[in-house]
Structure 1
Amino acid sequence: MDDKATLHRYLRTRRGQLLAKLDGLGEYECRRPMTPTGTNLLGLVKHVASVELGYFSDVFGRPSGRDLPWFDDAAEPDADMWATAGETRDEIVELHRFSAAHSDATIESLPLDAPGVVPWWPEERRHVTLQQMLVHMCAETAQHLGHADILRELIDGAAGQGPNDPNLPARSAAGQSAHFDRLEAAAREAAAHATT
């Protein structure tokens, strides 16, 4: 597998994992702000789909024909990070799929060294290659997937990539509670030592 195929596979995998964080949740749960800054699952999907569409369309002169009003100059700050009551979950999931398909077409049709320009970046950094954008979007998607992992666990306890995730130890509810209590005790003990 060449470098482009490897990067593309990582991006596709993280996209799918992010979208899967909505599975089984109702409208409230997927939109619910879970942090003081308002971070929510559906907003993360909307944001990642939106920025990916920009990076693999406008940057490489391959317009998507899709208008994203939350990026207009008159839009409120962070409008891409949450879904209004009038924006449906299905619309945002469809945007995610549209963005992925458009991005995939760009990635498949250009070589890794294809030049692009990110007009919203500072002048000294705006000249990029497809490889840079692939790495950037892999990192951005993984970062927001990490946020989504935590939010989903706070919402209903679902952790990682599901119950068979090999990166999570299998614990019973009692075992998980004991593990949590052990970490809490260690944190309190460390804090007590730090103040003495």
Structure 2
Amino acid sequence: MTKLVILDRDGVINLDSDAFVKSADEWIPIEPSIKAIARLNKAGYQVAVATNQSGLGRGHFSQADLDAMHDKMTALVEAEGGHFATIKYCPHKPDEGCECRKPLSGLIDQITEELSIHSLDGCYMVGDSLRDLQAGEARGCKAVLVKTGKGEKTLATNEGLENALIFDQLADFVEWVLSQES
């Protein structure tokens, strides 16, 4: 079994914004998430990020801004003793017809190719929206919805969540998944 957890970014690792998270200053971690990622690493899990970042394609922020956000996120996780195996993002606008924008699974495919993973059996896709879960489920990941970010709104629709595990936040999922091993 491959020990991989794929995370959406906004609303799972950091606070989300309907106006887009546009800079490292606006990138504010959901505090328990940073330590939770490090806990996964320490338990032998690879952690990857798959995030739609259409704000880049829409001109709301630059590549340098996105890099600065990811550098901040990476530094915070590393300060807790963790790391990301890879960070993949879709810069395209919703109408561009790319293969990487969730709910399509292009980002998941990029992750598995880069990490040389041949089976996602036992892997988890953690997100706060249905499209996150759909992208992971299409490749065999177990779907995990967190109530942070847009999670409560997603939960209220109750659509497409039949197979999803549901947790208040990432740290609660990590606590659960690590308890399954003991």
Tell me the TM-score normalized by structure 2.
0.29
Q: Which has the higher strand share?
A: 2
Larger radius of gyration: 1
Tell me the TM-score normalized by structure 1.
0.27
